[in-house]
Structure 1
Amino acid sequence: MKRTRLGAVVATAAVALSTAAVAAPSSAAPDKDRETVQSAPAVQEAPARKAKRRAAIRILSFNDFHGRLRDEGGLGGAPALAAKITELRQQYGRRTTVTAAAGDLIGASQFESTIFQDEPTIEVLEAMGLQTSAVGNHEFDEGVRELLRIQHGGCYDQCFEDGVAYDGADFPYLAANVTWKGSGKPILPPYWVKKVRGVEVGFIGVVTDDLPVLVNPSGIRNVDVGSEAEAINHYSQVLSAKGVKTQVVLMHEGSAQTWEPGEGETPEDDPRTPNTCIGLEGPVAAINDAVVPQVDAMVTGHSHEGYVCMLDDPRGNPRPVTQASDYGSLVTATKLVVDRKTGNVLRDRSKARNHEVTVEDGVDETVQAIVQKWLDKAAPLANEVVGSVTEDITGDSSGDRGAETPMGRLVADSILWGTQAEADGGAEIAFMNTSGVRDSFIYAETPGGEQPGEITYGEAGAVAPFGNLLVTLDLTGADIEAVLNQQWKGEAASRPVLALNPSEGFTYDWDPEAHQVVPGSMELNGEPVGADDVYRVATLNFLADGGDGFTAFGEGENVLGGPSDLENLVAYLEANPGLSVTDDRVGGL
């Protein structure tokens, strides 16, 4: 990754969610292999005997933390998340709980974490007692080598704490379905076992098998990414052979609840909460159906949703399948009751609940002190004013990643601006992916004490967090249309559409029924784009390398690299003060 100024790239985003009630477990009959042995006829003694044979274990989980050191709008953030986890541990008993996560703990982080290679996030996760996590796609943002450094330690290109070497995460990342190319050997442990109240609990970690199209392919060229379900089932068998019968999956793949208002209903009637499971759509249900019954619970992530489901396993027995939204705004508490004699989970007693995390409920002072330390280190650069806006320019991609946004268009314009000169590539068109835009410029926000409308380096870094490089290449009009048609990922994808934002002067229409560009609708500066004509196109190396599934960029020729996206965005802001919202450039998307 190219470094700018202190060698940083940055990110932040905000989501607010509501909470509600506990989801009721399914009434399906328990697996016969998991039934408790009948107690002796002595009625008065039976409850006591059963109680001794049963162990209640709680899994406290979260996902998609994304280096959220600070809270946004009173929700989430490291100090509040740590306080909520401590509260739940005290409620259930520290010895009966395990704290685990489902990936994307780092990457697309707030400025104060990204500028220091997410070492601050690892420090706060350790302080709040995280015990294990699946890898997420964002753990691979800078490739396998950097992920292994995050796990095992070592300085990046400098030691950020006064010459003291970073010592790595003290919790294991799990990656059962990511193996060294051709070897079948996981790059990190595939599972982790923790004894709780005398019961061994096995955790298997997997990441979405879409990983190759979600990160820069060059960073993972030495690994293979396999099926989530196949890896889970293999290591479930391994755990069973070791006598570990209580098994939990940590999976960085997700779904979403869906609901459409019926006759006479309005959006205010929406029954979905973080503790319901209504109209679940996405890959999770299919993966659940394919995962062996020996797995007792599945903690999911990736889709930034809150839900609590009881989904039948292949034997028809319900198991909790949950997700805790994002940014530390929710914590899931999953209860598993284990028969000590058989080691099996009593599925009819399993349940889960999502708990909201708010600053009002308290913050952990130890974690707050760690956060403040890194805030102080980052402040001199973060608070430097680099530009200004005249109104809000929004682009928080945690919402709809299938549409262009004002900030997406602004970033696309900045890419074109930085590559238009012949020496810089001579670009005529630029594209920016909506999913790569991670924050907004809000006129009234003044995080560094600047004037309203002024944009700081930290705010710019929050928009462009990934350390990508600008790239220019030659594409024909037909190639450009093929790239745009790849915005459609299919109904089965967790995000069916991933939009590209075009730069000023390029327009086209999208057919939402056919899921493709309307033939003949592409124009550049009012002139039709010819299928055989060659155009100089600018984008990010992530996209040029096929990231987000945009493999048609691979048809490009005469490829030229450029500066980092953040360096270019800052230069664009400095050269263009007083930016405002631009008009839509795509019809129908």
Structure 2
Amino acid sequence: MPAVPRRTGRRTGRRAYAVLATGAALATAAALTAALPAQAHTGKGGHGHHPRPGRYQDVQLLSFNDLHGNLEPPSGSSGRVTELQPDGATKTVDAGGAEYLATHLRQARKGHPYSITAAGGDMVGASPLLSGLFHDEPTIEALNKLKLDVTSVGNHEFDEGARELARLQNGGCHPTDGCYTDKKFKGANFPYLAANVLDEKTRKPILKPYWVWKKKDVKVGFIGVTLEGTPGIVSADGVKGLSFKDEVETINKYAKVLQRQGVRSIVALIHEGGYPASGSYNYDCDAAGPGSGISGPIVDIAKNVTPAVDALVTGHTHNAYVCDIPDPSGRSRMVTSAASFGRLYTDTTLTYDRRTGDIARTAVKSANRVVTRDVPKAADMTDLISRWNTLAAPIGNRPIGYVSGDVNNTGTESPMGDLIADAQLAHGKELDPRTSVALMNPGGVRAGLTYAAKGAEGDGVVTYAEGFTVQPFANTVNLADLTGAQLVQVLKEQVSGANEAAPKILQPSAGLTYTLDLTKSGADRVVTDSIRLNGAPLDPAATYRVAVNSFLAGGGDGFPTLAKGTGPLVGSDDLTALATYLTAHSSPSSPITPPTADRITVVR
């Protein structure tokens, strides 16, 4: 990559890399400095702008990920970010909402004639009712208005299968629900990229593998992939007939294709992510060295993706980070993620060298910016939300229950997860009185319930729309028989096998208790002799009727033993089970008290 002088000013929490300052490099740097004055960067979110000579051109890359159809401002902790203060303290900032995201992106683009907006997948799926009720057509319409240029697919783009994803791309009315308005759905104005998702019959990508942004003589290529493990976290029907290939091998393959076409500036959009050392969006990821403040799958991916790729926009883990992770040649490379739900966007400056057609990596700057709610709302987004809310209101505003306080979705065991498990246990007992336990996967719990919710519903009222936000997948509640030994194995699979590095703690229904010792490793973290069901130890040879959702029943999320259950029985969808439970067990005068989340004793 060509070298340019170090820029003055700071990125949030990191320094720009200087060019080599020895021998001939000094003379090179001096010559470049004369031809290329450093661009000033002022303030936390502002950019000073000076015209560049003909050889170099700043290209602004605005990116976000994991929107999940959150057009309205997310509520509770889902609608806040943590900000690190100069004195080391932290504060929370309300963030998100398409009306504000649109305003922030439009303001950010001002003064930047070369600007690209890209995304890292999961734009749709697991969406609130406003979007999910209409198969995410409202979100695609909003992204068109946001002027999104390109996105990778994420795992949630496959929630309703490849055909529905193709419809979101190409347009057309829903095959069973038809058209929701008097206008035919036009589809996305931007390309979805799915380089590593192949049709098993044709062995070709189901959508475009790459796309090239062009303006005058500047060209930037984008390659889009989702995580190879998508089949393990999506229902079997959603990925039927598809195969998912290795992220690194796929990106490296198409980087060569782009290079053969004369495209040397390349960005990878990867729906896979990492786990930052801090929950603050603006922490210094590189304080102890490049990439020292992040772990997880994206680290190995970043270290092995070809040096031909200049930057990685990532997602999936819903975390915020801007890190320099060296590529295989040892050169620094920016790896970014903007949390989730439209609460942040990443502002990256790529310096394009017209002589080489490549990005001058030493000049790359990046920072996450908060989508604050102290800016004017974008009028076109307000109109869009209002139109779809009018259609959704008759269904969404219907009360389904009452709570006495916030039912949070936080912690190893969450009150919301316990409440869902209780609802599924009750539904299971209606289907088969032998049902004795229910287990809920934490990833399927998309939000909590807030006591003082927005709108005119009144404190403590739970509407159908709120329930939909909590459980938007339309999984069914499935029953199966497992032996006591198998049930113990299921609990061990939370912290071993596919889940050893990143445990997935199932949310238990009332009556199931045990100790989770996080000071140990692997399956030993589940203290076997502590497991009790209604106060009694599990009998390894006995048969237990277990309720789980259809995703878990197929072995999803790394629980293969759940797929070995016998005597299957399929019930209603999970949202119906939750709504029925809330309606039966609460009223305005006797609301449900949030569970205390004390069924799992955690030792740290």
Query: Aligning the two structures, in what range does the TM-score lie when normalised by the shorter sequence?
Result: 0.7 to 0.9
Render the CA deviation track for 1:149-174: whole Å, top value 9, x for unaligned: 22222222223433433222111111
Corresponding residue number in structure 1 for 2:322: 308
Aligned-pair CA distance for 1:522 = 2.0
Corresponding residue number in structure 1 for 2:383: 369
Q: CA RMSD in A?
A: 2.7
Aligned-pair CA distance for 1:428 = 1.3
1:49 to 1:80, Cα distance in 2 relative to 1, 3 A: closer
Amino acid at match of 1:25: A
Specify which of 503, 514, 521 is matched with residue 530 of structure 2. 521
CA distance in 2, matches of 1:39, 1:25: 15
1:44 to 1:463, Cα distance in 2 relative to 1, 3 A: closer
Amino acid at match of 1:528: P
Corresponding residue number in structure 2 for 1:69: 71
Contact persistence 1:152–1:169 (CA under 8 A): yes
Q: TM-score, normalised by structure 2?
A: 0.85
Structure 1 segments of 4+ aligned residues over 6 angstroms from their partners: 37-50, 490-493
Corresponding residue number in structure 2 for 1:471: 478
2:227 pairs with 1:225: no
CA distance in 2, matches of 1:20, 1:539: 46
Render the CA deviation track for 1:243-279: whole Å, top value 9, x for unaligned: 11000001111112215xxxxxxxxxx9872564452
CA distance in 1, matches of 2:429, 2:72: 37
Contact persistence 1:387–1:456 (CA under 8 A): yes
Amino acid at match of 2:350: L
1:250 to 1:314, Cα distance in 2 relative to 1, 3 A: same
2:374 pairs with 1:354: no
CA distance in 1, matches of 2:51, 2:117: 29
Amino acid at match of 1:462: T
CA distance in 2, matches of 1:133, 1:92: 21
CA distance in 1, matches of 2:308, 2:139: 33
Corresponding residue number in structure 2 for 1:506: 512
SS class of match (2:122): coil
2:312 pairs with 1:290: no
CA distance in 2, matches of 1:68, 1:220: 24
CA distance in 2, matches of 1:45, 1:443: 60
2:90 pairs with 1:80: no
Could you say which structure has the greater relative contact order, defined with CA pairs below 8 angstroms and 6 or more residues apart? 1
CA distance in 1, matches of 2:537, 2:499: 34
Contact persistence 1:217–1:546 (CA under 8 A): no
Aligned-pair CA distance for 1:511 = 2.9
Specify which of 16, 21, 34 is matched with residue 25 of structure 1. 16
Contact persistence 2:211–2:223 (CA under 8 A): yes
Specify which of 409, 414, 417 is matched with residue 408 of structure 1. 417
- Superposed counterparts of 1:158-557, under 5 Å: 158-181=177-200, 183-258=202-277, 273=282, 276-277=285-286, 279-395=293-409, 400=411, 403-421=412-430, 423-424=431-432, 426-445=434-453, 447-488=454-495, 496-512=502-518, 513-516=520-523, 517-557=526-566
Aligned-pair CA distance for 1:316 = 1.8
2:47 pairs with 1:51: no
Contact persistence 2:552–2:563 (CA under 8 A): no
Contact persistence 1:383–1:448 (CA under 8 A): no
Specify which of 89, 100, 108 is matched with residue 126 of structure 2. 108
1:582 to 1:243, Cα distance in 2 relative to 1, 3 A: same
CA distance in 1, matches of 2:30, 2:238: 60
Render the CA deviation track for 1:302-344: whole Å, top value 9, x for unaligned: 1112211122211122121111111111111111112212112
SS class of match (2:477): strand
Specify which of 150, 155, 164 is matched with residue 173 of structure 2. 155
Render the CA deviation track for 1:452-501: whole Å, top value 9, x for unaligned: 212111111111111101100011111111111111257997x7111101
1:136 to 1:89, Cα distance in 2 relative to 1, 3 A: same
Amino acid at match of 2:14: A
Aligned-pair CA distance for 1:451 = 2.6
Corresponding residue number in structure 1 for 2:110: 90
Corresponding residue number in structure 2 for 1:8: none
Which stretch shifts more, 370-379 or 19-28? 19-28
2:599 pairs with 1:580: no
1:205 to 1:41, Cα distance in 2 relative to 1, 3 A: closer
2:156 pairs with 1:138: yes
Amino acid at match of 2:16: P
Amino acid at match of 2:462: I
Corresponding residue number in structure 2 for 1:267: none
Corresponding residue number in structure 1 for 2:567: 558
Amino acid at match of 1:257: P
> What is the aligned-residue identity percentage?
39
Show structure 1 runs of 5+ residues with no match. 1-18, 260-269
1:519 to 1:246, Cα distance in 2 relative to 1, 3 A: same
CA distance in 1, matches of 2:207, 2:31: 50
Question: How many residue pairs get matched?
Answer: 547
Amino acid at match of 2:245: G
SS class of match (1:415): helix
Contact persistence 1:236–1:295 (CA under 8 A): yes
CA distance in 2, matches of 1:271, 1:211: 28
CA distance in 2, matches of 1:127, 1:309: 30
Amino acid at match of 2:55: R
Aligned-pair CA distance for 1:520 = 2.6
Amino acid at match of 2:592: L
- Superposed counterparts of 1:3-42, under 5 Å: 21=12, 23-27=14-18
Amino acid at match of 2:213: K
CA distance in 1, matches of 2:52, 2:190: 34
CA distance in 1, matches of 2:293, 2:33: 44
Amino acid at match of 1:565: D
1:42 to 1:79, Cα distance in 2 relative to 1, 3 A: closer
1:476 to 1:27, Cα distance in 2 relative to 1, 3 A: farther
Contact persistence 2:497–2:558 (CA under 8 A): no
Corresponding residue number in structure 1 for 2:40: none
Render the CA deviation track for 1:509-534: whole Å, top value 9, x for unaligned: 22321343212322221121111111
Contact persistence 1:63–1:101 (CA under 8 A): yes
SS class of match (1:83): helix
Q: TM-score, normalised by structure 1?
A: 0.87
Contact persistence 2:129–2:465 (CA under 8 A): yes
Contact persistence 2:58–2:350 (CA under 8 A): yes
